[in-house]
C-alpha cells in the first residue's frame, strides 16, 4: 500500500471508492506549505485544472487513502498521469495522529487561469463530503471562476 493525499474531487470518499475500490480512507489532514491553485487552462475542457504548489504561508486540506498498486494504475488514468498532464510528487500530511508521507498529483503545466463554477462546486462538495472545515469549503465556493459565456 502507498498513501495518497487527495485535494481535488477524490476528497469525496464515495467518489474515491468508485475509482479505487480496494483503497480505503485512512485519515484527513493538511498539506502545510502548499496552496491549492489552478492551471493548464488550455488542457481543461471546463477551465483551469486544480493543482497544488509550494507556498510556505498556506495549507491545503487533504484526504489520505491507502492505495493498492492496481488502484494506483487506475488512479494514474483518472488523474491523467499516464498522459503526462499530472505527475506524482511526495508530500507530508499533518494529521491528528502525526505526520504521514504520501503521494499527490501535481499539474505539469503553468499556473494560472480560472476554473469553471461547476468545477469549483464539485471540488467544494468533495471537500464537504470529506468533512473539511466549513471555512475551507466556503473559501472554495467563494473562489473566482471563469464566465461560461452563456
Q: Write out pLDDT tens, residues 71-103.
A: 999 999 999 888 889 999 999 999 999 999 999
| Set of cell numbers at residue 131 | 468533512
Residue 73, classed as helix, strand or coil, is: helix
pLDDT at 13 over 60: yes
Q: Find all residues with CB under 8 Å of 65, minimum gap 6, and list them.
A: 3, 4, 6, 10, 16, 20, 23, 24, 25, 26
pLDDT at 149 over 60: no
Q: How far apart are CA 58 and CA 108, in angstroms?
A: 20
Of 56 and 146, the structure prediction assigns the larger pLDDT to 56
Give, as one character, the DSSP assignment of residue 47.
B
pLDDT at 45 over 90: no
Q: Find all residues with CB under 8 Å of 54, minimum gap 6, and list them.
A: 33, 34
Q: How far apart are CA 82 and CA 113, in angstroms?
A: 23
The reported pLDDT for the residue numbered 135 is 98
| pTM exceeds cut of 0.95 | no
Phi, psi of 94 (to 5 degrees): -90, 115
Tell me the pLDDT tens digit for each residue of 102-126: 999 999 988 988 999 999 999 999 9
Q: Could you tell me which residues are beta bridge partners of residue 88? A: 105
The reported pLDDT for the residue numbered 148 is 59
Question: Distance of alpha carbon 15 from its chain centroid, rounded?
Answer: 12
Amino acid at each position: 500500500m502507498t498513501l495518497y493525499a487527495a485535494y481535488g474531487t477524490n476528497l469525496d470518499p464515495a467518489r474515491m471508492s468508485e475509482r479505487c475500490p480496494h483503497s480505503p480512507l485512512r485519515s484527513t489532514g493538511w498539506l502545510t506549505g502548499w496552496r491549492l491553485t489552478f492551471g493548464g487552462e488550455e488542457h481543461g475542457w471546463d477551465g483551469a485544472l486544480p493543482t497544488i504548489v509550494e507556498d510556505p504561508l498556506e495549507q491545503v486540506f487533504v484526504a489520505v487513502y491507502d492505495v493498492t498498486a492496481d488502484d494506483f494504475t487506475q488512479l494514474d488514468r483518472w488523474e491523467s498521469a499516464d498522459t503526462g498532464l499530472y505527475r506524482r510528487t511526495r508530500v507530508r500530511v499533518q494529521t491528528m495522529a502525526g505526520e504521514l508521507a504520501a503521494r499527490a498529483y501535481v499539474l505539469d503545466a503553468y499556473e494560472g487561469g480560472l476554473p469553471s463554477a461547476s468545477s469549483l462546486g464539485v471540488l467544494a462538495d468533495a471537500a464537504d463530503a470529506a468533512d473539511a472545515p466549513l471555512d475551507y469549503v466556503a473559501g472554495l465556493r467563494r473562489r473566482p471562476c471563469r464566465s461560461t459565456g452563456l
